[in-house]
Structure 1
Amino acid sequence: MQTYYFDGHIHIGRTKENQAVKITASDQLTLHQIISFVKEAKGLDMIGIIDAHSPFVFEECLELVQEHGFEELEGGGLSDGELTILLGSEIELYDHNCSGPIHVLCYVPTLKQMKSFSNWYQSYVSNPHLSSQRIYCDAQTLQSEVKARSGLFIPAHIFTPFKSLYGKGVKTHLSEVFEPNDIDAIELGLSCDTSMANVISELKDYTFLTNSDAHSLEMIGREYQALSLEQPSFDSLRQALSEKGESKVSYNYGLNPKLGKYYSSVCQSCHRQIHNPSQCEYCHSTKILKGVPNRINEIAMSQGHIVKPKRPPYISQVPLKYIPGLGPKSLSKLRKHLHHDMYVIHDASFEEIQTVTNEQIASRIIALREGNLAITPGGGGRYGKMN
C-alpha cells in the first residue's frame, strides 16, 4: 500500500476557449493550468474535477487521452503516470422533500460513463455547460442514475448554512431527502472538522472527506486527505471509502474550523459575532446566521447520543499562501527549492525552510504543522484570520 494525497473538489473556471464554467471561480482555473499547478506547486497525486459533466469540460478531458499523454485506468480515472484525475460533477438539488438547496458531488469511473451521465443530466438543467446547476429531478432519482453508472454519490460541504445537506436542506435527518444506502461518503466543508461532525449519529457509518472546493489555483489543496491505496484509481478510492481490505483514508487534512466563513454565529442586523444563536445580545435582533457548531449541536441533540466511531486523525492546516509574512516571491522560492507544498507542509525540516526563507517564516510553518497558530474565528461569510 502507498500513500496518495487527494483533493476531490476542484472547479473549472474557464475552458481553453475562454468559455465560462464555474462563474465564481478564477479564469486561471483551466484544466491544463490545474494539471500543471498541481504537479509543480501542490504535489497532490489525485484530484477530482467536478465539472466534467459540462460538454466543454468533457471534451477537454477526452483530449487529455487523445492528445496529451493521459490514459484511462483499468480501475477508473485518467492518469499520465504522475497525476490521476477523477471525473465528477457538482449538482444543486432542491426537490419537494428539501427545505433548501443541497449541493452534492457525483463521480463516475470512465469517460464513457461521464458522457452517458452528462447526456442524461442535460435534460434536467437549464444550462448544462455551467457548474453547480440546479437539477429538476428528485434526489433519489439522481442517486439512482449515479449508481447505474457505477458512480460515487457524496453530499458536499454538509454544514455550510447555504446550499448544503444540514445547512437548509433537511431539518434533522438525511433520510428526509436521500436514500442513505446510496451515499458513499460525506464531505465536511471548511467550518467543520472530524471531532465536530462525529457527534451526529446518522453519520457514524460514512467516511469523512476533506476537499478544497477550490475556486482559484492557490486554494487547491487547502483541504485534502492522505489515502492508503494499492494504486491511485477510482476503484481504489471506492474501496477506501467503503473501508474494504487495506485501502483507507489515513488522514484528513483541513483548515482549523475557526478559519471557515461560517464557524461563529453572526447577527445579520449589527454584523457582530454572538454566542446566543437565537437572539443577538447586542441589538436583540433575531436575524441570526447560525454558526456551524450551533447547527451541529441542534442536529446531534435531535438524533440522540452515540458512541463516537474511531476515525482517521484530522490534522488542522492552512494553505502556505496564508502564512503571515510569506509573500508570493518567498512562496515561489520555497516551491522551487523544496519540491512542492506537500513536501514543505509535511516533511521539510525547520533548517531546510529557514535556509530558503527566514527563521520567522520557518517557525510559522512548523507552528502550522503542529496546529499552534493563533486564530481569530470567522463567521457570517467572512473567513477567520491567523494572528
Structure 2
Amino acid sequence: MFTDYYADLHIHIGRTWKGKPVKITGSKTLTLENILDAATSKKGLDIVGVIDCHSPEVLDEMAFLIEENKLVELAGGGLRYQKTTLIPGVEIEVNDSNCLGPLHVLAFFRSWQAMREFSKWMQNYVTNINLSTQRIACDAITLQHKVHALSGLFIPAHVFTPFKSAYGKGVKKSLAEVFDMDQIDAIELGLSSDTDMVKGISELDKYTFVTNSDAHSLGKMAREYQKIRLQEATFDELQKALHEIDGRKIIANYGLNPLLGKYHETACADCGHRTTETPCSNCGGKHLVKGVAVRIEELKDTNETSRIRPPYIHQVPLDFIPGVGPKTIQKLLSNFGTEMAVLHVITESELKEVVPTKIAALIDQGRNGKLALSGGGGGTYGKVKAE
C-alpha cells in the first residue's frame, strides 16, 4: 500500500548542539534538533535530507538522540524523529583535474553508522571535517564509488547555478566529463530552473529530478520539495523512488517559479542590473553573471524527450508573499498545523477565517503559481510584484 510523502533533501546545519559553526553562512538556530522539530511540527515534512551530518559533532548529537530514543533507527534505513524521517547526508565540493571549476554534490546514507564511516574516510581528503561543503582532494568518480560502496546515494547539486555547480561551472557540455554517469542516482535542479526548462538536454532523460530548498535557515526549509509515493518513509524506499522501482516514484515537484531564482536572468556581476550587454548601463561594470536560462539553452541538444516526468508545480513560499510575515505565518500554523497543510489542504475560504481576505487570496494565488513576478539575477532573488 502506497502513501504520498513530502520530502526536502537539502537542508544545511548552521551550528552544532555545542554552538560550533558547520555552515558558516547558516543561521545559528539551524541545529540538527531544531531542523527536525521544525520539519515535523511546523513544516509538515515527512522526510528531510540534512546534508551536514558528516561533521563529528553532528554525529555525536545524532548518537545522543538515538540513545535518548528521540531518533529511532529504521529497519529500512533512515532515522525517525516524531513524524519525520531523517536521511543523513553531506554536501561536498569537487574540483579535480577533469573539472573546469568547483562543483557541489550531495551524498546520502541509510544509517548513522554508514555516515560515520564515510566521515572517517572523508577526513583524509578535506582540510576541516567539521565544516560544511568542504573541497575534497580526490576525483569525482572515486567519490562516487566510495558513496556507493557504503550503499549511499549520489546526486549532483543545484546543477545549473552559475557558481559551484556541474553545468554552471564544472563541465563544458556533459556531466560525463566529470562523473561516472551510471553512478548518479538523481539530479537536483536548483532554484532558478524547472523541469520544462531542461527537457531538451538529452543526457538528463535517464535521471529523476529532485527539487530541494538548500535551506540556510529554518524558515527557508521546504521552499522547494517533492511529493514521493512510497510504502513507508525510509531510505530504501527513497532509493527505489529515485530509480522508479516497483511503483515507487516522485509524483510531483514543487518549487519556485524560476523567475524568482537569484540566477535566472543574466545580470551585471557588480550591481545586479539585469542586462546582457557590457559595459553595464547601470554602473559601467564589465562582467556578467550568465543566467541559468541562457546556460540551459546552450546545453540543449534535442527537441525530443523519451521520459514522461511528474508535474513541476510552481509555488511561492509563504514568506515570499507580500504581507505575510512571521506573525501571520505563526497564526496560520496555530490554526492549521503545518505549512504543508496550508499549501495543500486548507481552502481559501478557511484561510479567510484566519487572515485578511487579500492575504488569503495572495496565498491561494501563490500556491497555484498565479502571482505576477519579476525575474531574479546576479545573486538577487526575483520578487512578487505588488498590485
TM-score range, shorter chain: over 0.9
In structure 2, the residue matched to 1:363 is 361
Normalising by structure 1, we get a TM-score of: 0.96
The letter for the 2-side match of 1:7 is: D
CA contact (8 A) 2:268 2:280 kept: no
Question: What is the rounded CA distance, in whole Å, between the counterparts of 1:286 and 1:219 in structure 2?
Answer: 33
* Shift of residue 383, structure 1, vs aligned partner: 0.4
CA contact (8 A) 1:54 1:129 kept: yes
Question: What is the rounded CA distance, in whole Å, between the counterparts of 2:49 and 2:290 in structure 1?
Answer: 30
Residue deviations 1:139-194, cap 9 Å, x none? 10000000100010000000110000001100000000000000000000000011
In structure 1, the residue matched to 2:80 is 79
In structure 1, the residue matched to 2:322 is 324
* Shift of residue 308, structure 1, vs aligned partner: 5.3
* Shift of residue 81, structure 1, vs aligned partner: 4.7
In structure 2, the residue matched to 1:187 is 188
Give the CA RMSD over aligned residues. Answer: 1.5
Residue deviations 1:56-115, cap 9 Å, x none? 111111222111432111111001351100010000000000001010000111111111
Structure 1 stretches of 4+ moved >6 Å: none
In structure 2, the residue matched to 1:238 is 239
The letter for the 2-side match of 1:306 is: E
In structure 2, the residue matched to 1:333 is 331
In structure 2, the residue matched to 1:35 is 36
Residue deviations 1:30-77, cap 9 Å, x none? 111111111221010110110111111111112221114321111110
In structure 1, the residue matched to 2:376 is 378
Residue deviations 1:310-342, cap 9 Å, x none? 100001112211211112212111100011100
CA contact (8 A) 2:317 2:366 kept: no
Question: Partner of 1:191: helix, strand, or coil?
Answer: coil
* Shift of residue 271, structure 1, vs aligned partner: 4.0
How many aligned positions are there?
383
CA distance 1:272–1:16, change in 2 (3 Å) = same
The letter for the 1-side match of 2:77 is: G
CA distance 1:113–1:375, change in 2 (3 Å) = same
In structure 2, the residue matched to 1:349 is 347
In structure 2, the residue matched to 1:140 is 141
CA contact (8 A) 1:280 1:288 kept: no
Tell me, which stretches of 5 or more residues in structure 1 are unaligned?
none
CA distance 1:285–1:69, change in 2 (3 Å) = closer
In structure 2, the residue matched to 1:273 is 274
Tell me, which stretches of 5 or more residues in structure 2 are unaligned?
none
CA distance 1:268–1:83, change in 2 (3 Å) = closer
- Tell which deviates more after alignment, 325-334 or 225-234: 325-334
* Shift of residue 287, structure 1, vs aligned partner: 2.2
- Tell which deviates more after alignment, 322-331 or 150-159: 322-331
Question: What is the rounded CA distance, in whole Å, between the counterparts of 2:293 and 2:271 in structure 1?
Answer: 21
The letter for the 1-side match of 2:71 is: F
What pairs with 1:286-301 in structure 2 (closer than 5 Å)?
A: 287-300=287-300
The letter for the 2-side match of 1:18 is: G
Counterpart among 311, 314, 322 of residue 313 in structure 1: 311
CA distance 1:76–1:173, change in 2 (3 Å) = same
The letter for the 2-side match of 1:127 is: N
Question: What is the rounded CA distance, in whole Å, between the counterparts of 1:188 and 1:26 in structure 2?
Answer: 24
Question: What is the rounded CA distance, in whole Å, between the counterparts of 1:203 and 1:306 in structure 2?
Answer: 12
